[in-house]
Chain A
Amino acid sequence: GENVEQHPSTLSVQEGDSAVIKCTYSDSASNYFPWYKQELGKRPQLIIDIRSNVGEKKDQRIAVTLNKTAKHFSLHITETQPEDSAVYFCAAKWGRGSYIPTFGRGTSLIVHP
């Protein structure tokens, strides 16, 4: 099955700084890469995703980049705010023709005011 590695496990930044979280995957057939944000005590929710035919996607302060050759993708958050503090998970496809999300271990982002 798919194997997704995520780094770092913890990231501490000052408000206004940028944050970058990186993931690598093993299955070259994977073609969908979502990112989820999980606030304390809440469920994971999608914040941005990218498909394999696109190298970069932006949504306001959030961007995701994908390098299919190297099998890695990254989440970039600019101008971080305290409300960005949460656990972020990357995911990639796994399974025999089905999209079964395999998740990284998560990154705890702490934004200090």
Chain B
Amino acid sequence: NAGVTQTPKFQVLKTGQSMTLQCAQDMNHNSMYWYRQDPGMGLRLIYYSASEGTTDKGEVPNGYNVSRLNKREFSLRLESAAPSQTSVYFCASSEVQFNTEAFFGQGTRLTVV
């Protein structure tokens, strides 16, 4: 059982470049999330998708876009990367009919130079 799978695991971008982080889950969860983790700041919500076909902004959405491609996949796009987007990114998923835990991907360490 793979759970939540993110790609890539590491990435270095130059300022102004674009990239897409991919996330897929095989647990049939309705909700998926993208977080960024910075030292001392915890896990901050970038965007979420409560169900297939819907997306909403979280706490720190500026500079990002998302696509809920289908129930399994939720991608995060950086259109024009900035050094302030250097971070570790986590995708997560959970079921929402009942309050249950969120399952995380292995993370993507992104450096923007």
Chain A residues with CB under 8 Å of chain B are 1, 6, 9, 31-32, 34, 42-46, 49, 51, 89, 91, 93, 95, 98-106
Contact = CB atoms under 8 A, between A and B. Distances in A.
Nearest to A4: B42
Given A51-B99, A106-B42, A43 B33 contact: no
Nearest to B58: A100
A89 B101 contact: no
B40 A105 contact: yes
Contacts of B90: 43-44
B101 to A, nearest CB: 4
Q: Which of A42, A93, A95, A99 has the most CB of B within 10 A?
A: A99
Interface of B: 31, 33, 35, 40-45, 48, 50, 58-59, 90, 92, 94, 96, 99-102, 104-107
Contacts, number: 60
Q: Closest 3 A-B residue pairs measured CB to CB?
A: A32-B99, A105-B42, A43-B104
A62 B99 CA distance: 21
Given A98-B96, A99-B96, A100-B33, A46 B42 contact: no
Contacts of A91: 102
Given A99-B31, A100-B33, A89 B59 contact: no
B108 to A, nearest CB: 11
Contacts of A95: 48, 50
Contacts of A49: 101
A56 B105 CA distance: 29
A32 B97 CA distance: 13
Given A43-B107, A46-B102, 18 more contacts: A32-B100, A43-B90, A44-B104, A49-B101, A89-B43, A91-B102, A93-B99, A95-B50, A98-B31, A98-B50, A99-B94, A100-B31, A101-B92, A101-B94, A101-B102, A104-B42, A105-B40, A106-B40
22 contacts: A6-B42, A34-B102, A42-B106, A43-B90, A44-B43, A44-B90, A45-B104, A46-B101, A51-B99, A98-B31, A98-B96, A99-B94, A100-B33, A100-B50, A101-B43, A101-B45, A101-B102, A103-B42, A103-B43, A103-B44, A105-B40, A105-B41
